[in-house]
Amino acid sequence: MTLVLGIDPGSRITGFGVIRDTGKGCEYVASGCIRTGNGPLYERLQIVYRGVREVIGLYEPVTMGIEQVFMARNADSALKLGQARGAAIVACAEAGLEIAEYTATQVKQAIVGSGAADKQQVMMMVMHLLKLKEKPQIDASDALGIAICHAHTRQSLTPHGLLGARRRGGRLRL
Amino acid sequence: MTLVLGIDPGSRITGFGVIRDTGKGCEYVASGCIRTGNGPLYERLQIVYRGVREVIGLYEPVTMGIEQVFMARNADSALKLGQARGAAIVACAEAGLEIAEYTATQVKQAIVGSGAADKQQVMMMVMHLLKLKEKPQIDASDALGIAICHAHTRQSLTPHGLLGARRRGGRLRL
């Protein structure tokens, strides 16, 4: 039994979803979103960092999946998304979680069975797979979808991205 | 007397510079760069985060300046820069530093006296102002320039960006 975290970062709202991978299927544990408000940049990034650390502290997941970004709309939104993504990934890395990236196509394929599925189809399948009676908030739903994809994939494959890489020491040059 | 940190983040190399603002001028304390290597993304971001925390732990600056990004080259490089920037800013925020953003023009204006100065002119003035005998690495030089700009500006002005904003509580929605 493994607790799996999915994160869908954004500059305004970061969705998260926690599921339990029982080996026979996935069970819903928690989901929600971290809203960063209208404060200065450092404060919004700190809210993402601390929010993710809080979720990890509450539910103690051991592994995290996050969506890979291939085509950001433009340079300005890519910078903002990157900053939130950096804060969320560092929060998971500092908490010692295993981290993997999945493309949007991989997530849709794992949830709906088709890489061409839309957001509503993903949400319906997330609700079905996790036996949810109410629609989750859209970013929370996306995060649950990533968590399910990660649970399905991590047992069988080395996902495209981060998983399985050996930790190497950083170099600090003074 | 205040210890001031400047950071020039990048996806491969993050430059840092620490200066002492004596009230009458700036003295060189340290500079260098954090090289993130070729590991997986989470590891590179963790190297930036831990590297910045290490610099803060070693020199104990109380305030940090960082360059504001206006025009990233393209969405892909903006995402990568954003991730490193997010990791660096969260490291400073978590260490309790005061944080301010400056435009490239503000930095050049503060160092050379002209917003149209090039990188070599900035480096020459950084070397002159801090009495350096050897050329610093280019990212370290940029970081020292931001630190000098921050030292000059923080006493007299509210810089464009983060400084002076009140901390507000984040909202974590479960």
What ipTM did this prediction achieve?
A: 0.85
Please report which confidence band the pLDDT of residue A156 belongs to, taking 50, 70 and 90 as the band edges.
Answer: low
Range of the domain at B109: 1-155
Considering only residues A136 and A166, tell me which one the structure prediction assigns the higher pLDDT.
A136
Give Cβ neighbours of residue A75 (< 8 Å, ≥ 6 apart). Answer: B71, B72, B73, B74, B75, B77, B78
pLDDT digits (tens, 9 = 90+) for A51-61: 999 999 999 99
In a domain, A28, yes or no: yes
Please report which confidence band the pLDDT of residue B172 belongs to, taking 50, 70 and 90 as the band edges.
Answer: very low
CATH code: domain of residue B115: 3.30.420.10
Chain B contact for A45 (CB, 8 A cutoff): yes
Chain B contact for A12 (CB, 8 A cutoff): no
Considering only residues A165 and B129, tell me which one the structure prediction assigns the higher pLDDT.
B129
| Per-residue tokens: B76 | 């892909």
In a domain, B44, yes or no: yes
In a domain, A165, yes or no: no
Q: Are B136 and A174 in contact (CB under 8 A)?
A: no
CA distance to partner chain B, nearest, from residue A15 (Å): 10
Please report which confidence band the pLDDT of residue A72 belongs to, taking 50, 70 and 90 as the band edges.
Answer: low
- The Cα–Cα gap between B164 and B174 comes to 30
pLDDT-above-70 percentage for chain B: 88
In a domain, A168, yes or no: no
Catalytic residue among A98, A101, A139, A142: A139
Q: Are B29 and B19 in contact (CB under 8 A)?
A: yes
Q: How many domains does chain B have?
A: 1
